[in-house]
Structure formats: structure tokens, C-alpha cells
Copies of this chain bind each other. A is one copy, B any other.
Amino acid sequence: MKKYLITGAGGFVAYHFLKHLNALGERAEVLGLDLKISQNVRDYSFENVKLQFLEINLLEYRALEIAMVSFNPHYIVHLASFSSVGKSWEMPLESFLNNTNIFLNIAEIVRHNGIKCRILSIGSSEEYGNVKESDIPLKEDMLLHPGNPYAVARVSQEMLSKCYVEAYRLDILLTRSFNHVGAMQRLDFAIPSFAKQISDGVKQGQKEIKLFTGNISVIRDFIDVRDVVSAYFALLEKGKTGELYNVCSGKGHSLEDVVCMLSKIFDVQVLTETDPKRVRPVDNKVIVGSFEKLKEHTGWQPKFKLEESLKAVVDSMLH
């Protein structure tokens, strides 16, 4: 029975990862780590997954070491991250500690205890930083220009991973994952925030709904979280040690497109209004990735269209 250690186990991606794992039909064992595990998460029930949760601070080396050695995983799916760009400016130290340093703890524990496992280290499209439109679609071997402490921490994690692969032959795979979309995502992301605002209006019987947004002309590569987790499984199975993979849809959509699709799904009129607080100081006009390498190495391809992803977001809010 394969054993998966999942960090950030209370989060949105972990939920979909567990759901996918369960759907595979084979028995699996999971130890899910997170700083806090809510009752809602403790209540997860997946018939094929033997699931245990543990509240732990990944910065506490000794506690983490005891957990990791005791569980002795085949796979480590390291989803935990301090992933907010905005907060990385408010708290750059915490952002660094909770990205780079927790990754270092994991790598060190695997190395020192000789744990035989494959580690999936998640990165972000933020690492590309300021890019020129001629660089689109972004490929893995591009020069990086990380523009905020979060992005720098992610690039550091990547560089460290490479050191550990080269010097200690650790079996680490790396991703740069693009904008996720799907049910259960936190409301501080644009799409769930839009869906929630419209859904609230609908529930109040409004036919013309005012939507507060940031800059909705920006074009992003939105990937369904179900495609994200299927990519992670493909990587765990077929990815090459030390290699770095974009996890993306390969398609660009503006947030205007998203608003338009949401208005169709809800069947209401939506009037957008720019909220200065939601406008980011510096933003790339277009971020779209290429998943050619991931496809070539694993055969993976995204399955869901943005409309379907948005439908899933809306469904989860209405039901």
C-alpha cells in the first residue's frame, strides 16, 4: 500500500488530491500535516484512503522528523506554503520561513534519515516575474525575474532542490504551478471572490449584480484544480528526478472573460466596478505557460475547460 505524506493537508489542493487518490481505486495511506486541522477536514471520508491528520508546525524540525520517520512515506507531496504575494510584502520573513525553510527541513530530514521517497516540490508561476509578451507561452528554461519575496522564496526552494538532487541524489521533482481554479478555494482569490459576490446577489434576488474587481484586463493561465492534481499524480509516477515542470492549461483568459462566463452560468447581468484596493501595484498583462515538457515526460494533458471549472466553483457555492 503506497504511503503519501501531504503537507498543507487542510488546504484546497490537498482536498482534490485526496479525492483523486480515492478515485484511483487502490488502497492508499495518507498522513496529512497542517498547522491547524479543522473539524471539516477531520471529517473527510474517502473509502480507499486510510487517512490520518496531524497538527504540526513544519518549522519545528524535531517534531517533523519524528512524524516523517514514523510514517516513512513513499511520496511526499509538499503543498504547504505561505502563498500570498500581498502578505509576502507585509511579512517577508514569515513568507521566507514558511516556504524555503520548511522545504529545507523536509529535505534535511529525508537526507539524514535516509527516507526512500519521492518528493514533489510545488512552485509557482510567480517565479517568472516580469515577463515580456514575446516570452509567452512561458517555458521552464526561461530566465526568472521574481518580483516579490514570495516569488524569491519559491525560486530559492527550486535552487535548493537542485542542490539536494545533485549532491545527495534526493528524488525531488519540481513544479511551477499556474493559477488554480476549482471548488473549495479560499475567497481571497479572484475567481471564488467573483463567484461569491454574484452568488450572494442571486440569493438576494438581484437581476443586475454589481461586482467589485481589481484589474480585470489581465490575462492568466487558469488551470482546473482537478487537472493540477492529475498532473501531480502523473509526475509522481513518471516525472524525472530533478526536473522542473510547468503545471498549466496553456490557455490564456482575461478576468473579463471569467466575469462574462460567470454571468452566463448564473444567468444574470453583472456590472463590474474597479475597487482600488483590489488593484495590484505591478502586474503582468499576460501570463500563460507551456505544458509541453510535462506532456512529453508523462503524457499528461489538461481535461477541463475554463467554463467547466467555473461551473464547479459555482455549484459548490450554490449547494
Contact = CB atoms under 8 A, between A and B. Distances in A.
Report the contact-size class of chain A (Cβ under 8 Å from the partner). Answer: 20 to 34
Nearest to A107: B92
A155 B281 CA distance: 25
**Chain A interface mostly:** helix
Contacts of A108: 92-93
Contact of A149 (B92, B146, B149, B160): B160
A152 B147 contact: no
Interface stretch (A30-38, A94-102, A174-182, A217-225): A94-102
Interface string A93-131: 100110011001101100000000000000000000000
Contacts of A282: 166-167
B96 A100 contact: yes
Contacts of A156: 96, 100, 152-153, 155-156, 159
Interface string A29-49: 000000000000000000000
Contacts of A148: 163, 167
B89 A104 contact: no
Given A100-B96, A105-B93, A152 B159 contact: yes
A143 interface: yes
Interface string A75-98: 000000000000001001100110
A104 B93 contact: yes
Interface of A: 61, 89, 92-93, 96-97, 100-101, 104-105, 107-108, 143, 146-149, 152-153, 155-156, 159-160, 163, 166-167, 281-282
16 contacts: A61-B93, A89-B167, A92-B104, A92-B160, A93-B105, A96-B100, A97-B101, A104-B149, A146-B159, A147-B163, A147-B166, A148-B163, A152-B156, A156-B159, A166-B282, A167-B282
